[in-house]
């Protein structure tokens, strides 16, 4: 006898899956443990739905073969790794891709879609207020904001969520209450982003915000320029100096990044095909160079170089192909759903966050950051949901 879920049980499991997806995504803003446990439960519900549903509930995505190519590249890299046992453990990052499928399956109505966005925005804003108010001073300087995670991760999270809500303010069709709520949530998150003092996230924000202006409202670029001028005129010297230090080639943190890029290239040339494996690079790194900073070398603070070294040219091509595909699909979705204020704003925000992620990734290994990767895959899933729901809406109106 084959065990199958009734329609009532299927709806219940799907609702539970949606709930644990929200905990997974929202929970990462304050606890990676809560987020990870919720993701494990959500995956279990997902597998149950796939196996026990009467009608075959699995929904393929346009990225399936690209995900498969990435997984194969990870496997090959592990087989030929200098430390296979460590590499196979780090292959668990592939599980984070499940967020795309969890999102596509569980968010099946406009109401769920809106709640998912609203909850993420409100919780991130509230936590940003708490973090900012409790920020401590060391002498005359504020510590870097990062109460719930490392300040670089905090900067990446704030950057992504800020970019997700900006279009709701820029979009003229946005209902007044949503625009006001978005603006009220934006302010504490923007302040928190600045307080992380994470320069790469600042640059990612500027890139993503510029993308929103170019696509939706070029006048917003003037507002963005005004924000930059306002920052340099009124922000404390600590922060303005932090911003201008981006261009200082003699700064220690900049020198370490340059050293990691040049050393990473040497490592890649020695392991060009499948890389050294998805491992912590520190032990191997110090055999190539004398670190400028003691913390230098665990990864290479650059997505492209870290992928080249860990996965080789095979893995690098697989991941870059995936990234290009996501860019093309998300850009097309933005154009397709632009006439709907909710789907249009969210899709544009997800696309801007994707641009910001890659600019941030020029200076950080954010693709290997658990919290950032979860948000990345969630935004990809949301974009796909936008496309599906707008299609259903169009079909109903014809």
- Per the structure, the count of domains in the chain is 1
What DSSP letter does each residue of 2-59 carry, written as one string? -----HHHHHHHHHHHHHHHHHHHHHTTT-HHHHHHHHHHHHHHHHHHHHH-SS----
pLDDT in tens, 201-244: 999 999 999 999 999 989 999 999 999 999 999 999 999 999 99
* pLDDT single digits (tens) 2-42: 567 777 778 888 999 999 999 999 999 999 999 999 999 99
Report yes or no on 213 lying in a domain.
yes
Q: Can you tell me which residue has the tokens 């929103």?
A: 212
Residue 96 CA to residue 25 CA, distance in Å, equals: 11
C-alpha 363 chain-centroid distance: 15
In this prediction, residue 1 carries a pLDDT of 43
pLDDT bin (cut points 50, 70, 90) of residue 141 is confident
pLDDT at position 395: 60
Does the structure show a pLDDT above 70 at 139?
no
Q: Where are the alpha helices (DSSP H) in the chain?
A: 7-27, 32-52, 64-79, 84-90, 98-106, 110-133, 151-170, 176-195, 199-215, 219-234, 237-244, 252-270, 282-285, 303-336, 341-360, 370-396
- Residues of the chain with pLDDT > 90: what percent? 85
Query: Is residue 359 in some structural domain?
Result: yes
pLDDT at 8: 78
**pTM for the model:** 0.95
Whether residue 38 is contained in a domain is answered as no
The answer to whether residue 78 is domain-embedded is: yes
Please check whether residue 252 is in contact with residue 292, taking contact to mean a CB–CB distance below 8 angstroms.
Answer: yes
Residue 23 covered by a domain: no
Please, what sign has the CA dihedral across residues 56, 62, 67, 69? positive
Number of C-beta neighbours around residue 381 at 10 A: 26
Is residue 397 scored above 70 in pLDDT?
no
Give the residue numbers spanning the domain of 316: 62-118+150-396
- Does residue 95 sit within a domain? yes
């Amino acid at each position: 006898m084959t065990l199958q879920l009734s329609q009532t049980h299927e709806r219940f499991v799907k609702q539970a899956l949606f709930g644990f997806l929200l905990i997974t995504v929202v929970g990462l803003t304050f606890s990676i443990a809560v987020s990870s446990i919720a993701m494990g439960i959500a995956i279990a519900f997902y597998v149950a739905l796939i196996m026990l549903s009467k009608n075959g509930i699995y929904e393929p995505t346009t990225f399936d073969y690209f995900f498969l190519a990435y997984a194969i590249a990870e496997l090959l890299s592990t087989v030929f790794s200098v430390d296979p046992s460590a590499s196979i453990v780090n292959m668990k990052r592939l599980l984070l891709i499940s967020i795309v499928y969890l999102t596509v399956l569980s968010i099946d109505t406009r109401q769920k879609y809106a709640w998912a966005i609203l909850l993420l925005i409100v919780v991130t804003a509230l936590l940003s207020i708490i973090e900012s108010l409790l920020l401590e001073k060391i002498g005359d300087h504020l510590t870097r904001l990062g109460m719930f995670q490392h300040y670089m991760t905090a900067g990446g999270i704030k950057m992504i969520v800020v970019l997700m809500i900006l279009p709701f303010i820029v979009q003229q069709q946005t209902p007044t209450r949503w625009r006001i709520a978005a603006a009220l949530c934006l302010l504490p998150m923007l302040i928190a982003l600045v307080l992380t003092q994470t320069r790469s996230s600042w640059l990612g924000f500027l890139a993503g915000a510029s993308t929103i202006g170019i696509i939706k409202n070029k006048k917003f670029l003037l507002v963005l320029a005004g924000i930059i001028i306002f920052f340099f005129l009124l922000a404390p010297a600590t922060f303005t100096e932090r911003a201008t230090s981006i261009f200082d080639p003699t700064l220690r943190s900049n020198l370490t990044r340059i050293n990691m890029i040049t050393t990473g290239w040497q490592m890649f040339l020695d392991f060009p095909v499948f890389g050294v494996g998805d491992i912590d690079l520190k032990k191997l790194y110090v055999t190539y160079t004398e670190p400028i900073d003691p913390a230098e070398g665990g990864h290479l603070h650059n997505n492209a170089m870290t992928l080249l070294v860990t996965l080789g040219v095979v893995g690098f091509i697989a991941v870059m192909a995936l990234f290009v595909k996501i860019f093309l699909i998300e850009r097309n979705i933005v154009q397709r759903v632009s006439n709907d204020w909710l789907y249009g704003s969210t899709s544009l925000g997800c696309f801007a966050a994707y641009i910001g992620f890659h600019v941030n990734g020029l200076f950080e290994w954010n693709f290997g950051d658990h919290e950032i990767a979860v948000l990345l895959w969630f935004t990809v899933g949301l974009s796909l949901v936008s496309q599906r729901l707008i299609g259903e809406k169009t079909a109903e109106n014809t």
